Structure 1
Amino acid sequence: MGEVRKIAPVESARFVAHLPFTAADMSSALVFTRTLVRSLAFLDQLDGGEATVSFEDGQGNRERVFCDLLTETGRRCERRAGHPGSCLPRDGRHS
């Protein structure tokens, strides 16, 4: 009973957590998701740049939350998807 069993290391796999929430419209849903992702940015396991939002009954039609394109510096853009102008890398400097 006092035996400690070691768990064999497993290769990491990517998963998607589906977390339903309510919002007045798609714009509000995108703001909520941006806020949620940014509040969890300290988690290395989270790939916030890949966040998408959909209507509950239309999960096949997703809206990207962040641009996430590579900038000239090689970093990912942290601005909203479809933003005007140049991309802004995650270190806060304009490319």
Structure 2
Amino acid sequence: MTRERFVVHVPVLATDLAAAKRFARTITRSLGVLPDVDPAETTVSEEDAQGVRHRVFCDARLDGAGRCARPDDHDGPCVPPRR
């Protein structure tokens, strides 16, 4: 059977976009142990503007180490995800 990619939308309450992104990082890291979860593609949107997505992780490609696991707007060098 061929597998397809899907996006799971889970509404949460947060005080602002920054708090929602922190919450999304926490959820994603918790689910990151599952092989079928793609943390690098995590985004957040406001409920009434779901077409406007805000990246949660940097997502820069690292030589042989996957993608950067730091927040999207991080300072300093990129780091590989924990394995």
TM over 0.5: yes
- Cα pair 1:50 1:64 within 8 Å, conserved: yes
Which 4+ stretches in 1 moved above 2 angstroms? Answer: 72-75
Rg bigger for which structure? 1
1:78 to 60, 69, 73: 69
Q: What is the CA distance between 1:74 and its match in structure 2? A: 4.0
CA distance in 2, matches of 1:27, 1:91: 23
Q: What is the CA distance between 1:82 and its match in structure 2? A: 2.1
Higher strand share: 2
Q: What is the CA distance between 1:58 and its match in structure 2? A: 0.3
Q: What is the CA distance between 1:91 and its match in structure 2? A: 4.1
AA at the equivalent of 1:13: E
Q: Mind listing any 5+ residue stretches in structure 2 that lack a counterpart?
A: none
Q: Normalized against structure 1, the TM-score is what?
A: 0.80
Establish whether residue 27 from structure 1 lines up as the match of residue 27 from structure 2.
no
Q: What is the CA distance between 1:73 and its match in structure 2? A: 3.9
Q: Mind listing any 5+ residue stretches in structure 1 that lack a counterpart?
A: 1-9
Q: Normalized against structure 2, the TM-score is what?
A: 0.91
Match for residue 32 of structure 2?
41
Q: What is the CA distance between 1:64 and its match in structure 2? A: 0.2
- Cα pair 1:51 1:65 within 8 Å, conserved: yes
Deviations 1:18-45 (A, max 9, x none): 1111111111101110000001111111
Q: What root-mean-square deviation, in Å, do the aligned CA atoms of Structure 1 and Structure 2 show?
A: 1.4
Q: Which has the higher contact order (CA 8 A, sep 6+)?
A: 2
